[in-house]
Structure 1
Amino acid sequence: IIYNLRKEGKKLKEIAKYTNKSISTVHSILQRNSLKLGQRPGRPEKLKPRDKAVIIRKIKEQPRTSAPDINRGLAESLGMQISDETVRRTLRAAGYNARTPRIKPLISEQNRKKRLEFAKKYINENSEFWRKVIFSDETKFNIFGPDCGNKVWRKANTEMQRKNTKCSVKHGGGNVMLWGCMSANGAGNLQFINDKMDHYQYIQILKDNLCSSADKLGLSGRYIFQQDNDPKHTALNTKLWILYNTPNTLKTPPQSPDLNPIEHLWADLERTIRKHPITSKNSLKAAILKEWDKISSGRTQKLVNSMPSRLREVIKMKGYATRY
């Protein structure tokens, strides 16, 4: 009766008065009943808390260890016989889930230190500083992108429909190289690279695009030009041209795509151009130009505003790769 009264929403004081028992007695009865209700039916768990701790400790030390490997280790060290699924359930209950690891650049010790130094140097720069930066980069797009060749959902006997077939082309079908830039105010110029680029061609690209991009982005004469330390960028002729033709510079450390927000624009572009029917270099270029012109200043501003967070992440990771 006490439990039913409690289910009806009665207070302990009301239940005690109705049943002619003390409040402490009512509380004790309800607590005992609650414990009984919480008992799990079926067989008791095979794994004891210390056994679960062994499994969790193993995965903390070596995240790439598979459930069968953990199971074999338990059998050898503790003489336990459990299923691989029991191992997986234990890990899932502890908050672990099997995921494909993110691909990140392998950062050398020397470059790790450079990344950490860069982050500490610029961590206190305000948003006004980052709004002046023109971020630049070169990239490559394939005619047939990474989405080609994934699994398809199709009905029986439709395997030869064009949309259900897998692309197969000689030499990967070709690609286009390009240079581009952006700031918080929007996307700058985009320049296709026809041949393998050397520092002479790179200087010509800057001559043709950097100042006009600064004008387009409202940063004429007061921008900070960012580039990485690619050999073309650090050649003597390039250094001299930049010295005499740009107001200020910002050189990001090697192996640091996470410190250049334009990398996210390339990823955006890779996704959006695949909505177009691309079968040649010309159609690929047309799709790139069309989607590049659609990039909003809201998107670029959001990316640039993430720079302080990126720097904090580098410091937190002690110079190693971040989630960006």
Structure 2
Amino acid sequence: MGKSKEISQDLRKTIVDLHKSVSSLGAISKRLKVQCSSVQTIVRKYKHHGITQPLYHSGRRHTLAPRDECTLVRNVQINPRTTANADLVKMLETGTKVSISTVKGVLFNRKGRSARKKPLLQNRHKKAILRFATAHGDKDRIFWSNDIWSDEAKIELFGHNDHRYVWREKGEASKPKNTIPTVKHGGGSIMLWGCFAAGGTGALHKIDDIMREENYVDILKQYLKTSVRKLQFGHKWVFQMDNDPKHSSKDVAKWLKDNKVKLVEWPSQS
């Protein structure tokens, strides 16, 4: 069916003027030979917007109403781990006919990304971290200048074990630039212990065996004291380490006490 002829602006004004003169929609339609539905649309538009010109808009009309789009976005905000298919099922259950592409289009600005892995924090952990932050949030650089910070880190010798994305076209998955090389058995890794302070870096030690409490005591005996001398600390320095079970063992606690090492009260899971 061909496109219907557009009603001229003069005819639209005439319809509005006749309506103002208390003429019925049917009478206006019969007098001007215009479909009653068109007359009704023009009058309604004039009442709502105060104009008679057609409201043009570019592109296809939205499949979902603004309210449905807000509901879809709000569901994702409440539960970011949900999937587009799960959201589609919810929309269909409410009687809204929609496709998976429409759901993804509404959520375009919230692209799916790999979730970061963080330690599971219980309420006691959160309270302890909040107390530490509240007590030390206003401390200046001078306060932290005598602190020695330490930690262990595992370093992959070949590549990374994290999830990686590449931008590619369909059918280009096997191209060398779109692949991540791997080796058998993961290529190995090394474990390092190191420390640093505001004035510079301390010692860096490669851990050959499995880290146990006796190994950690040996590291403190040899490399912590070396780092203190290297960083030119006097007697007023504070040592930081996390709450790993090896660090909080009886042997480590005894060595720290015997050597009068003052510790930063570091909260767990931080």
TM-score between both structures, scaled by the size of structure 2: 0.67
| CA pair 126-38 structure 1, distance change in 2 beyond 3 A | farther
Distance in 1 (alpha carbons) for counterparts of 2:59 and 2:122: 53
Contact kept, 8 Å, 1:149 with 1:167, in 2: the verdict is: no
Structure 1: 5+ residue runs without aligned partners?
Answer: 1-31, 257-324
Between the aligned residues of both structures, percent identity stands at: 35
SS at match of 1:233: coil
Residue 41 of structure 1, CA deviation: 2.4
User: Structure 1 residues 224-233 or 140-149, which shifts more?
Assistant: 140-149
Q: 2:184 aligns with which of 165, 169, 173?
A: 169
Corresponding residue for residue 187 of structure 1: 201
Corresponding residue for residue 60 of structure 1: 77
Residue 96 of structure 1, CA deviation: 2.8
Distance in 2 (alpha carbons) for counterparts of 1:247 and 1:109: 30
Q: 1:47 aligns with which of 53, 64, 83?
A: 64
Q: 2:130 aligns with which of 98, 113, 116?
A: 116
**Alignment of 1:211 onto 2:228:** no
Structure that is richer in helix per residue? 1
Aligned residue identity for 1:103: K
Alignment of structure 1 residues 174-253 onto 2, 5 Å? 174-253=188-267
Distance in 2 (alpha carbons) for counterparts of 1:132 and 1:181: 13
Residue 136 of structure 1, CA deviation: 0.5
**1:150-191, Cα deviation, whole Å (9 max, x unpaired):** 68899x9xx899xx7833324x34332221101122221011
SS at match of 1:191: strand
The two structures, once aligned, show a CA RMSD in angstroms of 3.3
Distance in 2 (alpha carbons) for counterparts of 1:43 and 1:165: 41
Corresponding residue for residue 126 of structure 1: 140
Corresponding residue for residue 84 of structure 1: 100
Of structures 1 and 2, the one scoring higher in RCO (CA 8 A, sep 6+) is 1
Residue 221 of structure 1, CA deviation: 2.3
Distance in 2 (alpha carbons) for counterparts of 1:221 and 1:56: 57
Residue 200 of structure 1, CA deviation: 2.3
Alignment of structure 1 residues 13-24 onto 2, 5 Å? none
Contact kept, 8 Å, 2:114 with 2:163, in 1: the verdict is: no
Residue 231 of structure 1, CA deviation: 2.2
TM-score between both structures, scaled by the size of structure 1: 0.57
Distance in 1 (alpha carbons) for counterparts of 2:167 and 2:73: 37
Structure 2: 5+ residue runs without aligned partners?
Answer: 1-48
| CA pair 151-61 structure 1, distance change in 2 beyond 3 A | closer
Residue 199 of structure 1, CA deviation: 2.3
Residue 235 of structure 1, CA deviation: 2.1
SS at match of 1:251: coil
Aligned residue identity for 1:210: L
SS at match of 2:135: helix
Contact kept, 8 Å, 1:189 with 1:209, in 2: the verdict is: yes
Distance in 2 (alpha carbons) for counterparts of 1:85 and 1:153: 20
| CA pair 58-253 structure 1, distance change in 2 beyond 3 A | same
Residue 109 of structure 1, CA deviation: 3.1
Aligned residue identity for 2:188: G
SS at match of 1:128: helix
Contact kept, 8 Å, 2:63 with 2:102, in 1: the verdict is: no
Count of equivalent residues: 214
**1:63-84, Cα deviation, whole Å (9 max, x unpaired):** 122222212211211x222222
SS at match of 2:160: coil
Q: Tell which structure's C-alpha radius of gyration is larger.
A: 2
Contact kept, 8 Å, 2:199 with 2:231, in 1: the verdict is: yes
Contact kept, 8 Å, 1:227 with 1:233, in 2: the verdict is: yes
| CA pair 213-175 structure 1, distance change in 2 beyond 3 A | same
